[in-house]
Amino acid sequence: IETYKKRENLSKTEPTSKAPFLCVSGGQNVAVQPFSDEDASIDGLSLCSSFSDALSVADEGGEVVEEAAQEDFQYKLKVYIDSTLDKSAKTRQGALDGLKAAMATRILYEFISDRRTTIADSIERCLKKGKGEEQHAAASLACLLCIQLGSGIESEEVFKTLKPVFKNILLDGSANIQARQACATSLGLCTLVAEDDILDVYATMECFESLFTRSYVREDGSRPSLNPQTTLLHTNALLSWALLLTICTSSQVKAITHKHLPKLPRLLENDNVHMRIAAGETIALLFELARDTDPEFEYEDWEPLCDKLNSLATDCNKHRAKTDKRKQRSVFRDVLKAVEEGEFQSETIRFSTERMTIDSWVRKRTYDAFREFVGSGMNYHLQANEFIRDVFELGPPMLVDSTTLKSMKVSRFERHLYNAAAFKARTKARSKFRDKRVDVGEF
């Protein structure tokens, strides 16, 4: 209080032109210079310095948080791997599903490569001792493991361990039907990714042939009596056989075409819509491969085949579900065009800043096979998985910063205009060709 009173007295008695005094310890009055621009610049520099220090601390804090999240994620994966050996079937099932979800949505090569043997042993154990859904999950996890490891020694080691188990379950008529269906699909994709011997590929294709050929309509016109689950098993075997057909040599394609093309149209008379669609797509794939091998390829029963495909493309049977008929007509219009004109309805896949064109039946069968296991993570794997990018000839992964990515985004108004124009063009095209589909009988 005394110091404050002295300061007030001094401010009243001293002229204003002099600099103010500041009382410091010891009772001494020190003159203080007025605030200048130089002082402001110094304070500004100190403020900027402290702000930059705060940013650096925030960045370091963000990195620490990211590392902590990564460690937590890896810890969960380790728990999942350990839980695949649990005594409880429910716990093992949850662990397999957790590993599947992680591998489908992330690139985990560094983490998995060191633990591939452990994971493969767990998958083998679940396939041998599990039941139904657990075997199905284990078979799917095997495919995702091979996709993560890519085509090389590591995936070959895993596949050599699991291939005998797959074939034993697939050919065992007393095994669980869901397990056999899953093994039919997984064996095909794992063979595509990890098999190093083309002769072993042909042996696996013969294994699939022994299954789906049982659905052929017999020469006397009689149809085999099969339940829906067995038909689905044969459908999966046919699709896996067609997938491996895409990597066969030209000589093998000629032999397969000569052997199976006259018989495959018998599957078009199957009661199951999925089998009919799988057979139609396989026929289109065979025609494409045969014409690539021999541009002058001709099929003797070409006209009866086109008539059958045309009837499926314009199917109006009332006893079939509308959704099945709609899907069937859409597929067989493309199949008919492929057989008659050798054309394919191309499709563009967009992911991040890139695009990939599905322009052939070979590429379509390969893309559908990978998407069946990866699911919603397919775009991410197309962007970052080196193996899948190599399969589709996309080159090494592209690194795009956030600023560039933001600048390439289309505004909402531009997107609205584009969608409106596309809708108008699509409506015109559909109205133009609607009368040519001969779908009047449905109504």
Chain centre to alpha carbon of residue 109? 16
Q: State which amino acid sits at residue 102.
A: A
Q: What is the pLDDT of residues 252-266, one digit of tens each?
A: 999 999 999 999 999
User: Does some domain include residue 156?
Assistant: yes
Which are the contacts of 377, defined by CB distance < 8 A and separation ≥ 6?
104, 105, 106
Instruction: Note whether 307 and 287 are same-domain residues.
Output: yes
pLDDT score at 427:
79
Say whether both 88 and 119 belong to one domain. yes
Among the candidates 312, 343, 374, a domain finishes at 343
pLDDT digits 0-9 by tens, 268-290 = 988 899 999 999 999 999 999 99
421 belongs to a structural domain: no
pLDDT bin (cut points 50, 70, 90) of residue 321 is confident
305 in a structural domain:
yes
- Tell me the C-alpha distance between 359 and 357, whole Å: 6
Is 417 part of a structural domain of the chain? no
| Closest of 282, 266, 260 to residue 332, by C-alpha | 282
The 3 state secondary structure assigned to 211-242 is HHHHHCCCCCCCCCCCCHHHHHHHHHHHHHHH
Domain stop point among 343, 369, 402: 343
Residue whose pair of structure tokens reads 């006209």 in the numeric block: 303
Q: Write the single-letter amino acid at 198.
A: I
* Residue 132 and residue 205 in one domain: no
Residues 111 and 212 both lie in one domain: no
Flag whether 21 is in a domain.
Answer: no
pLDDT > 90? residue 191: yes
Same-domain pairing of 145 and 177: yes
Considering only 78-87, 103-112, 262-271, 410-419, which range has the smallest mean pLDDT?
410-419
Q: How many structural domains compose the chain?
A: 2
- Domain match, 174 and 202 both: no
CATH number, domain with residue 167 = 1.25.10.10
- pLDDT given for residue 204 in this prediction: 96
Model confidence band, residue 34 (pLDDT cutoffs 50, 70, 90): very low
Mean pLDDT of the chain: 82
Q: Residue 436 has which token pair?
A: 């040519």
End of a domain among 306, 326, 343?
343
Range of the domain at 320: 198-218+225-239+248-343
Output the CA–CA distances (angstroms, integers) from residue 413 to 85, 404, 417, 418, 419, in the order listed. Answer: 54, 20, 6, 9, 10
| Same domain membership, residue 323 and residue 309 | yes
- H, E, C per residue of the chain: CHHHHHHHHHHHHCCCCCCCEEECCCCCEEECCCCCHHHHHHHHHHHHHHHHHHHHHHHHHHHHHHHHHHHHHHHHHHHHHHHCCCCCHHHHHHHHHHHHHHHHHCCCHHHHHCCHHHHHHHHHHHHHHCCCHHHHHHHHHHHHHHHHHCCCHHHHHHHHHHHHHHHHHHHCCCCCHHHHHHHHHHHHHHHHHHCCCHHHHHHHHHHHHHHHHHHCCCCCCCCCCCCHHHHHHHHHHHHHHHHHHCCCCHHHHHHHHHHHCCCHHHHHHCCCHHHHHHHHHHHHHHHHHHHHHCCCCCCCCHHHHHHHHHHHHCCCCCCCCHHHHHHHHHHHHHHHHHHHHCCCCCEEEEECCEEEEECCHHHHHHHHHHHHHHHHHHHHHHHHCHHHHHHCCCCCCCCCCHHHHHHHCCCHHHHHHHHHHHHHHHHHHHHHHHHHCCCHHHC
Query: Are 78 and 146 in the same domain?
Result: yes
Residue 144 maps to a domain: yes
CA 286, CA 295: separation in Å to the nearest integer?
A: 13
Q: Return the minimum-mean-pLDDT range out of 1-10, 339-348, 374-383.
A: 1-10
Same domain membership, residue 180 and residue 97: yes
Do the domain assignments include residue 204? yes
109 and 135 housed in the same domain: yes
Using CA atoms, how far apart are residues 275 and 294, in angstroms rounded to an integer?
A: 28
pLDDT at 400 over 80: no
Q: Is the pLDDT of residue 43 over 50?
A: no
pTM over cut 0.85: no
169 with 289, same domain? no
Q: 63 vs 251, which has greater pLDDT?
A: 251
